[in-house]
Structure 1
Amino acid sequence: MNRTMITATNTLSQLQKQMDIISNNIANIDTNGYKRRDSTFTDLVAQEFRNQPHDRLEQNRLTPFNIRQGTGAKIAQSQIVLSQGSLKTTERSLDTAFTAEGQMFRVLAQNSDGSSAVRLTRNGAFYLSPLSDNETMLVNSDGHPVLDESSRPITFTGKPTNITVSATGTITASMPNGSKQEANLGVVFVKKPQFLEQKGDNLLGFPDNLDALGVTENDIITEMAGPERGGISIKQGALEQSNVEMSKEMTDLINVQRGYQFQSRSITLADQMEGLVNGIR
Structure 2
Amino acid sequence: MNNSMISAMVAMSGIQQKLGVVSDNIANADTVGYKGKQATFEDVFTTVKQQPGAASQLPGRVTAPGYNIGFGARMGDVTMDMTQGALKSTQNPTDLAIQGDGMFAVSVDGQQGWTREGSFHYVPVANDPKSAYMATEQGYLLLGDDGQPLKVPAKTQIDIDAKGVVRSTDGQGKVTVVGTRTVDPNTGKETIVPRRIQVDRITHPEGLQQMDGNLFVLPANQNRASVIGPMSAATEVRQGFLEASNVDLSTEMTEMMTVQRAYQLAARALSSSDQMMNLTNTLRG
Residue in 1 aligned with 2:37? 37
Q: CA deviation at 1:197?
A: 2.5
- CA pair 128-8 structure 1, distance change in 2 beyond 3 A: same
C-alpha distance after superposition, 1:212-262 (max 9, x if no partner): xxxx322222122xxx5x433121111010001110000000000000000
Give distance in 2, aligned partners of 1:165 and 1:137: 14
Q: CA deviation at 1:179?
A: 5.5
**TM-score, length-scaled by structure 2:** 0.85
- CA pair 107-65 structure 1, distance change in 2 beyond 3 A: farther
Q: Over aligned residues, Cα RMSD in angstroms?
A: 2.2
Residue in 1 aligned with 2:118? 124
Which 4+ residue blocks in structure 1 deviate beyond 6 angstroms?
53-56
| Structure-to-structure mapping, 1:37-56, within 5 angstroms | 37-52=37-52
Residue in 1 aligned with 2:164? 169
Amino acid at match of 1:26: I
Task: Give the greater-gyration-radius structure (CA).
Answer: 2
Q: Would you say the 8 A contact 1:129–1:139 is kept in 2?
A: yes
Give distance in 1, aligned partners of 2:227 and 2:64: 40
Q: Would you say the 8 A contact 1:52–1:66 is kept in 2?
A: no
- CA pair 172-62 structure 1, distance change in 2 beyond 3 A: farther
Query: Structure 1 residue 146 and structure 2 residue 142: aligned?
Result: yes
Residue in 2 aligned with 1:113? none
Identity of aligned residues (%): 30
C-alpha distance after superposition, 1:253-274 (max 9, x if no partner): 0000000000000110011111
Query: Structure 1 residue 190 and structure 2 residue 202: aligned?
Result: yes
- CA pair 63-163 structure 1, distance change in 2 beyond 3 A: farther
Give distance in 1, aligned partners of 2:201 and 2:255: 29
Structure 1 SS opposite 2:39: strand
2:267 to 244, 264, 268: 264
**TM-score, length-scaled by structure 1:** 0.86
Residue in 1 aligned with 2:104? 105
Give distance in 2, aligned partners of 1:15 and 1:56: 35
Q: Would you say the 8 A contact 1:174–1:181 is kept in 2?
A: no
Amino acid at match of 1:106: A
Give unmatched runs, 5+ long, in structure 1.
111-115, 211-215
Give distance in 2, aligned partners of 1:118 and 1:248: 34
Query: Structure 1 residue 207 and structure 2 residue 219: aligned?
Result: yes
Give distance in 1, aligned partners of 2:262 and 2:131: 57
Give distance in 1, aligned partners of 2:62 and 2:163: 61
Q: CA deviation at 1:209?
A: 4.0
- CA pair 145-56 structure 1, distance change in 2 beyond 3 A: same
Give distance in 2, aligned partners of 1:43 and 1:64: 21
1:249 to 252, 258, 263: 252
Give distance in 2, aligned partners of 1:255 and 1:217: 38
How many corresponding residue pairs? Answer: 265
- CA pair 51-208 structure 1, distance change in 2 beyond 3 A: farther
Give distance in 2, aligned partners of 1:135 and 1:81: 37
Bigger drift between 137-146 and 245-254 goes to 137-146
C-alpha distance after superposition, 1:176-214 (max 9, x if no partner): 57352423001111222222221113112233443xxxx
Q: CA deviation at 1:4?
A: 1.0
Residue in 2 aligned with 1:213? none
